[in-house]
Chain A
Amino acid sequence: MTANRLPAQPGEYIDRSKPISFTWNGEPIQGFEGDTIASALTANGVRVVARSMKYHRPRGYLTNDFWDPNSFVQVGDDPNVRSAHRLAEANMAVEAQNVWPSLERDIRAANGLVSRFLTAGFYYKTFIKPQRLWPAYAKVLSTFAPGGTVDLDTPHRYHDKRYAHPDVVVAGGGPAGMAAALAAADEGASVMLVEHGHQLGGHLLWGDVNDRMLADELRSRVESHDGIEVLLDSTVTGRYDDNWTAIVQRSHPIAVERLIKARAKMLVVAAGLIERPYVFAGNDKPGVMTSGAVRRFVNMYAARPGTRAVVFTSNDDGDAAAEDLARVGIELARVVDARTGGNIVAAKGGAKSVEGVELADGSTVDCDLLVTAVGWTAPTSLLNMSGDRPVYDELAARFFPSRDIDTVLTTGGMAGDGSHEELVAHATATGRLAAGRAAVTTHRLQAATARAAAVSGAEPAWPSDDRSALPRHPQRELFRSTTHGIVDYSEDVGSKDLVAAAKEGYDSVELLKRYTTATMGPSQGKLETVNTVAVLAEARGETIEEVGTTVWRPPYAPITLGALGGRVFEPVRVSSIQPWHEANGVTTILAGQWIRPEHYGDPAAEVRNTRENVGITDVTPLGKLDLQGPDVPKLLSQLYTNKWMKLGVGNVRYGIMCAEDGVVLDDGVTGRLGDEHYLMTTTSSGAGAIWEWAENWLQTEHPEWQVHVTPVTTGFTSINVAGPKSRELVSRLVDDVDLSPEAFAYMQVRTGTVAGVPNCFMWRIGFTGELSFELHVPSGHGLHVWESLLEAGADLGVKAFGLEAQRIMRLEKGHFIVGQDTDGLTKAPSTGMGALIKLDKDDFAGKPELEWALQDQSLPHVVAIQTTDPRIVPEEASQIVRAGTNEILGRITSSRMSPTLNRSICLGQVAPEVAAAGSELTVVLTTGERITARVMEHHAHFDPEGERLRG
């Protein structure tokens, strides 16, 4: 089976002492450790590895590297694996993808027969009408979509994220990248050297003995240097403002993939060059390869890519490929030299292999391997992302950086050509320059953080760039032969398609790209952009420079969604009572950052018990801001719409806060604990924002006010004790506060000792509408107080209730929830709380808007609503419409079945014309059915006079 494995090669990366086997479409494949899937398949004589996207033409390896457009395979449950990059592993199950029923007999290859109908824009033109059939079209077309199979049952695997702050990130681990990294590290910089492949060395890896010696020398120095962190099988995939670089690390010991966000003081781009395929008839037949592809097969993996070769060369690399082939005994049928006028016109043969090549001189040479070496594409993506627009140089037939960027330097093949010595010298100077500039940036960063650390010494001078430019080797401009062929292998776009599209008027490169999808496949232009531009330039009769290129955007190499999602660093919060909740059958709900008890099995029973006996609920996430200082009343007056200057010690007041546009921001109660000491409560979700809001007023508009705001939300465990027996229960645990209704009335606050815990705040407030005491207990004692309440109240029938029961009870009482019953447009007068807007105050947030809103008769109203049929609970967000029409008059914002009233109850927002008590409403259910409902007189469906609350 491994007849195509060559004898040991001097620079091979396979370990012949470690044979492995895996399967390819179920057939056994023998390889060695160090093989890529591609090299093992090739050594086993496999030539066809994929079918093309549109025409399903058989395809073999073209470039034999990460960017090979024909290399995508399925490995187990992992789709779209790049087989010329992924290393082979024992027992892998590798399969061809996008083939049906099999790679050998793919019936959709019939697409190729009708290819003249599948030209650019085919889908746009064909499936546009009639529009109602589009869903049917989409269904059929999706079966033609390329790509592997996603297994929805794949277990979740670990993806990681890391933040790094290196002085210098070097993108590319070839000779230039290594030399730059060494020079920078020698200057004391911390360096991250990021290499796309599995080994350091770049193009030296598949070179001759001199190349390998240089690679070995640089590599051993890099590996023993403490200042360099080497990341293999990793790619700098994006560069953003201030050198924020995204690095995707594919090989990681424990993570499937890791995303590194590195803030590099300097970025050195040494991404090398990518060999460009040649456009000619039959250029996608299996057996047509770039010179780099065959040199990697032969020199790195000792895999024989063919038996009889024609080499079309225009440069040293093509010549070297011919030498390599001859050395290992592959018959060289012909070397066609472009530098002396030679050219190839068409690859001949069947669909599954090249069998010969027609030359420009009219002759045809038999071969099963056709090697092209026509020049290079500079992958300038990171420079584009840094703001550069690289310029085309006809002499070297490729793009070069157009200008210097202070924090981004280029070296290696993207900067020019030259001998090993010249390249290493340029890269070394680049690394030194990068280290010098990084040192300046370090100094500036420290100086800018002067309060945190003293800066030592004066700022070093900004090193100027005095590197001598690398020479540029002449390269003939070889993009397309006299025939038409494939330009974008991933997308199956040919030069003929591009010419036709240009004739149709899509003759700007950005339009052409989108219309034909050229450069939009998985290779993302690395192989095909310049050929696309060249074909367009020819069609327009212009130069490449005049046509221009498309802009390279991130990501340079793909990142899995797993890595982007990665680890979530956001913590979740739980109250100190969480262990009790978990031990008592809680169902939790995630609310913002908090995990809260939703219920303990039967929320309706929890409601009934609270209304009949007494219930306790954990409301720890309730926002709590400790306010101290002589000017607290001024701050409260500024934040709330109502008045606060005369709140007595021990008293509590409710208020609404609005933003400067008059929209309700938050609501809650604030109590006065002492002369200059207040405690503000906010909604659970508003806790963070209201703190920032208060600070905004104190820091920007009124820095003269003396107020200190301390968030204490998590410093206290908050427990609401509610129900007719709540006073009895609390009194059993409190000795130092008189709890009688006369001494401790509704809307008052006291400080006392609960179950032996001093310094607890007790509030007579409540969302549930029952007599209730809200206890704020220093959080270390929260669980103790909770358990003491349950123990002390066992004979009273005390039971815990969750968020759902609390929400039902608040809806029974008609209390609106900011953000649920109000939205981003709801101004305070809509909530029915207009009386709390005190326009005679000199100033408060949103005052002018609220003044205008109070006069505005068109604002919607928040109202209580009951359905005519008490059994129907309309889903929240059900629309309220004008009877007999679809004209929207409002919507249901909250709805529940009330266990207390045994009927459906709602809150909603409605237009003013139907807001009056008794107005009849038409509610559209999610089923489409329409029902009738009625606007109630009071917001509260239950105990509108609040007698229970004040008891």
Chain B
Amino acid sequence: MLLVPCPNCGPRNASDLRYVGEAGPRPDPNTATEAEWRSYLYIEDNPAGLLRETWYCRAGCRRYFVAERDTTSNEFVNSPLPGNKIGGKA
């Protein structure tokens, strides 16, 4: 099981967190086309390499945060403190 580096709680078992999804901006709900909105809902980049993704520390500090993970090695390279505006997908 992955150890996920929560910026508040430190590294914790992935089962302590909820994986929210790839991080990305939420389109403007008043101007988004169907294609843009559905891409936001369903389409993931799924790169082999660095990926920014949102986690929720549900059994710890209960903060949403973005972490950067290398999908080829499962190594986390960056998980800044929460507070930055990030994707609102759940």
Q: Is the CB–CB distance between A242 and B88 below 8 Å?
A: no
The answer to whether A703 touches B37 (Cβ under 8 A) is no
Q: With an 8 A cutoff between CB atoms, is A229 at the interface?
A: no
Label chain A's interface by main secondary structure: helix
Q: How far is the CB of B66 from chain A (nearest CB, A)?
A: 9
Residues of B within 8 A of A (CB): 1-3, 5, 8-11, 13, 18, 20, 26, 29-30, 32, 34, 37, 40-41, 54, 56, 58, 62-64, 74, 82-83, 85-90
A241-B1, A700-B87 known; A852-B64 Cβ under 8 A: no
Contacts of A244 in B (CB 8 A): 1, 13
Q: A701 within 8 Å of B by Cβ?
A: yes
Contact residue among B8, B20, B41, B85 (Cβ-Cβ distance under 8 Å from A660): B41
The CA of A262 and the CA of B20, in the complex, are separated in Å by: 26
Interface residue A692 (Cβ < 8 Å from any Cβ of B): yes
The proximity string for A residues 827-844 relative to B, scoring 1 for CB distances below 8 Å and 0 otherwise, is: 000000000000000111
Cross-chain contact A696 with B62 (CB below 8 angstroms): no
Contact A445 B10 (CB under 8 A): yes
Given contacts A843-B30, A847-B29, contact A696 B64 (CB under 8 A): yes
Can you show 17 pairs from A to B with CB atoms below 8 A apart? Answer: A241-B3, A241-B74, A242-B2, A242-B3, A445-B10, A450-B10, A659-B90, A660-B26, A660-B88, A660-B89, A661-B41, A695-B56, A696-B88, A697-B88, A701-B85, A848-B34, A852-B34
Minimum CB–CB distance from A689 to chain B (whole Å) comes to 9
Nearest residue in A to B73 (C-beta to C-beta)?
Answer: A387
Q: Are A692 and B1 in contact (CB under 8 A)?
A: no
Cβ–Cβ contact B1 & A842, under 8 A = no
The answer for the CA separation of A329 and B52 in the assembled complex, in Å, is 71
* Chain B proximity mask over A189-211: 1 for CB below 8 Å, otherwise 0: 00000000000000000000000
Which single residue of chain A is at the shortest CB-CB distance from B23? Answer: A700
Distance between A712 CB and nearest chain B CB, rounded to angstroms: 15
Q: Does chain B have a CB within 8 A of A351?
A: no
Interface residues of A (CB under 8 A from B): 240-242, 244, 263, 445-446, 448-452, 659-661, 692-693, 695-697, 699-701, 703, 842-844, 847-849, 852
Q: What is the chain A residue whose CB lies nearest that of B42?
A: A661
Q: Which residues of B contact A843 (CB under 8 A)?
A: 29-30
**Bound-state Cα–Cα, A449 to B57, Å:** 14
CA distance A844 to B30 in the complex (A): 10
Given A241-B74, A692-B58: A699 touches B1 (CB 8 Å cut-off): no
Question: Which of chain B's residues have a CB closer than 8 A to the CB of A240?
Answer: 1
Q: Which of A451, A695, A699, A847 contacts B8 (CB 8 A)?
A: A451
| A to B contact number (C-beta, < 8 Å) | 79
Docked Cα-Cα span, A114 to B72, in Å, equals: 51
Cβ of A448 and Cβ of B89 under 8 Å apart?
A: no
Decide if B10 touches A452 in the complex (CB within 8 Å): yes
When distances are taken between beta carbons in the complex, the residues of chain A under 8 Å from B40 are: 660
Residue in chain A with minimal CB distance to B74 = A241
Cα A230 to Cα B1 with chains together (Å): 24
Among residues of B, the one whose C-beta sits closest to the C-beta of A659 is B90
- Assess whether B74 is in contact with A700, with CB atoms less than 8 Å apart: no
Q: Is the CB of A701 within 8 A of B26?
A: yes
Q: What is the bound-complex CA distance between A240 and B13, given in angstroms?
A: 12
Residues in A whose Cβ lies below 8 Å from that of B34:
848, 852
> Distance (Å) between the CB of B14 and the closest chain A CB?
8
Q: Is the CB of B87 within 8 A of A848?
A: no
Contact assessment for A693 and B90 in the assembled complex, using a CB-CB cutoff below 8 Å: yes
CB pair B3 A700 closer than 8 Å: no
**Nearest 7 interchain pairs by C-beta:** A449-B10, A701-B88, A244-B1, A242-B3, A847-B29, A448-B10, A699-B64
Chain A contacts of B54 at CB under 8 A? 700
Tell me which residues across on chain B come within 8 A of A445, comparing CB atoms. 10-11
- Contacting residues, chain B, for A659 (C-beta < 8 A): 90
Nearest CB of B to A851, in Å: 9
Additional pairs, 14, CB under 8 Å, beyond known A700-B54, A848-B30? A244-B1, A446-B10, A448-B5, A449-B9, A449-B10, A449-B11, A660-B41, A692-B62, A696-B56, A700-B85, A700-B88, A701-B26, A703-B83, A847-B30
**Chain B residues whose CB sits within 8 angstroms of the CB of A451 once the complex forms:** 8-10
Q: How far is A449 from B61 in the complex, measured between Cα atoms in Å?
A: 12
Closest B residue to A244 by CB, please name it. B1
Complex Cα–Cα for A697 and B62 (A): 13
Partner of B11, one of A448, A693, A848, A852: A448
Asked if A848 meets B90 with Cβ closer than 8 Å, knowing A241-B1, A445-B10, A701-B26, the reply is: no
Q: Specify which of A452, A695, A852 is in contact with B9 (CB 8 Å cutoff).
A: A452
Complex-state Cα separation, A289 to B68, whole angstroms: 54
Q: How far is the CB of A387 from chain B (nearest CB, A)?
A: 9
How distant is the Cα of A240 from the Cα of B3 in the complex, in angstroms?
11
Let me know if A849 and B9 touch, CB within 8 A. no
B90/A692 in contact, CB under 8 A: yes
Which B-chain residue is minimally distant from A696 (CB atoms)? B90
| Chain B residues, CB < 8 A from A452 | 9-10
B20 to chain A: closest CB distance in Å?
8
Name the A residues within 8 Å of B83 (CB-CB). 699, 703
Cα distance, A771 to B45, chains bound together (Å): 53
Closest residue of A by beta carbon distance from B28 = A843
Q: Are A849 and B10 in contact (CB under 8 A)?
A: no
Chain B residues lying within 8 Å of A446, measured Cβ to Cβ, are 10
Chain A, residue nearest B3 (CB) = A242
The reply to whether B37 and A849 contact each other, CB–CB distance below 8 Å, is yes
Name the B residues within 8 Å of A844 (CB-CB).
Answer: 29
B61 shortest CB reach to chain A, Å: 9
Q: Which of A692, A697, A703, A849 is B56 in contact with, Cβ under 8 Å?
A: A692
What separation, in Å, do the CA atoms of A700 and B88 have in the docked complex?
6
Most chain A CB neighbours (cut-off 10 Å) among B18, B34, B74, B88:
B88
**CB atoms of B88 and A241 under 8 A apart:** no
How many whole Å from A759's CB to the nearest CB in chain B?
Answer: 26
Residue of A at shortest CB range from B20? A696
A703–B1 CB distance below 8 A: no
Determine the distance from Cα of A700 to Cα of B41 in the docked complex, in whole angstroms.
Answer: 16
* Residues in A whose Cβ lies below 8 Å from that of B20: 696
Tell me whether A848 and B29 are in contact (CB under 8 A): yes
Q: Write the nearest CB–CB distance from A455 to chain B, whole angstroms.
A: 11
Residues of A within 8 A of B56 (CB): 692, 695-696
For the complex, give the distance between the alpha carbons of A152 and B26 in Å. 54
A242, A695, A697: which has the most chain B beta carbons within 10 Å? A242
A180 to chain B minimum Cβ distance, whole angstroms, is 24
Cβ of B82 to closest chain A Cβ, rounded Å: 6
CA distance A334 to B13 in the complex (A): 59
From A241, which residue of chain B is reached at the shortest CB distance?
A: B2
A848–B1 CA distance with the chains assembled, in angstroms? 37
Q: Tell me, rounded to whole Å, the shortest Cβ–Cβ distance linking B25 to chain A.
A: 10
> Is the pair B32, A848 in contact by a Cβ cutoff of 8 Å?
yes
Q: Please name all residues of chain A whose beta carbon is closer than 8 Å to the beta carbon of B9 when the two chains form the complex.
A: 449, 451-452
Interface centre among B8, B10, B18 (most CB of A within 10 A): B10
Residues of chain B contacted by A699 (CB below 8 angstroms) = 63-64, 82-83
From B3, B11, B64, B86, contact of A695 by CB (8 A): B64
Query: In the bound complex, what is the Cα–Cα distance between A500 and B78 (angstroms)?
Result: 54
Q: Which residues of A contact B13 (CB under 8 A)?
A: 244, 263
Pair B37/A700 contact, Cβ less than 8 Å: no
The distance from the CB of A233 to the nearest CB of chain B, in whole angstroms, is 25
Chain B nearest Cβ from A110, distance in angstroms:
50
Bound Cα distance from A852 to B74, whole angstroms: 39
Bound: A905/B32 CA distance, A:
42
Report the Cα distance A660→B41, complex, angstroms.
7
A residues near B82, Cβ cutoff 8 Å: 699
Complex Cα gap A701–B27 (Å)? 11
Cβ–Cβ contact B30 & A692, under 8 A: no
Residue of B nearest to A445 (CB): B11
Give the distance in Å from the alpha carbon of A448 to the alpha carbon of B26 in the complex. Answer: 30
CB distance from A90 to the nearest CB of B (A): 42
Chain A contacts for B87, CB-based, 8 A: 700
Known: A263-B3, A445-B10, A659-B90. A695 touches B29 (CB 8 A): no
Give chain A residues whose Cβ lies under 8 Å from the Cβ of B5.
448
A residues within 8 A CB of B2?
241-242
Instruction: Give chain B residues whose Cβ lies under 8 Å from the Cβ of A703.
Output: 83, 85
